[in-house]
Structure 1
């Protein structure tokens, strides 16, 4: 999985292949398709899976129930991301032998995730938590990997990486909400810019 994860939200399935192509050309091979619009998200996952299933890591985000988890896996998702901490949902997803990156916002939630054997958690919204929080929780959780989500931009990605984040999931600043085929080159350029920033840190 690359350090950079593209969050796809509000994109119609008819536009998703060109967007995926642009991301792959830039070197981004990990996509999170949000289920905030469940039907739209599932259609995108199915479409990507058929065309590029062997070329990328395809996940579903904004998973809030066992039913959604099942639907996403049936559509072709290979990992699941939740917006917040739900121990029972996390245990259910783990029982499917599927990687889960649960949203957390406190040391207590990180500790609960660690107790289930989860190795990477999503700090969300990371713009509210800040780099000092990340540095502080790295102490008691030195083996936990952190995925920065929510407010990651060109201006703070280096700071977040230096604070201890391993992965960076970026939404509208990388793939605009409701993007279409016409946005392919813009998205590719966005991705290349972020990759360059991460390489320079």
Structure 2
């Protein structure tokens, strides 16, 4: 799976299965098709993945995040997730997922972890928490890793996304600033507004 330049990945966390389809529809209508359902609340997350896979099929780039074990990866893939995102670097888990023919965007924090991920054939790494590491850190990573593909996650919002894009990040995982944690159908108007603002911002970056 290939992330486009400036791609927004909506992080859905703590959302009930009965609310998730309406939220996904709003995001899709605004042009956000990449969605990561977090397993921070595992059963709730798996229920959302099953619901979204059944409702939207291939029109949604459906993934799973906060995966820390092979068992979680297996459950999520069986439920319909098409890619795996981890909060941190785990070489055994990364190799396990890749061996299944499934894409993985592993979390990295240090140059050493970036090196290991690239050596194992990972295409895109998730820099987390990007907001805490800052844009200077991002810029310096491209010295030893000029072809690095970075997804910035953690503390990324409408006020700093442009700076991280300028530093070299080409995709962004956005959590509560896009879809509030535990969002319900009552927040669809706000989610729509958030999504529209993010997509407008992304379009300006690409010019």
* Same topology, TM > 0.5: yes
- C-alpha deviation, 1:189, in angstroms: 1.2
Q: Are 1:87 and 2:91 counterparts?
A: yes
* Superposed structure 1 runs of 4+ greater than 4 Å apart: none
Aligned length: 201
1:28 and 2:32 correspond: yes
Asked whether the 8 Å contact 1:119–1:145 carries over to 2, the reply is yes
Structure 1 gap ranges (5+): none
**Residue number among 114, 117, 120 corresponding to 1:116 in the alignment:** 120
Query: How far has the Cα of 1:199 moved from its partner?
Result: 1.5
Shift of 1:198: 1.7
- Please, what TM-score do these two structures have when normalized by structure 1? 0.98
Q: Secondary structure at the match of 2:136?
A: helix
SS at the partner of 2:11? strand
CA root-mean-square deviation:
0.8
Q: CA deviation at 1:182?
A: 1.5
**Structure-to-structure mapping, 1:1-201, within 5 angstroms:** 1-2=3-4, 3-201=7-205
Normalised to the residue count of structure 2, the TM-score between the two structures is 0.95
2 CA distance for matches of 1:178 and 1:119? 31
Where do 5+ consecutive residues of structure 2 fail to align? none
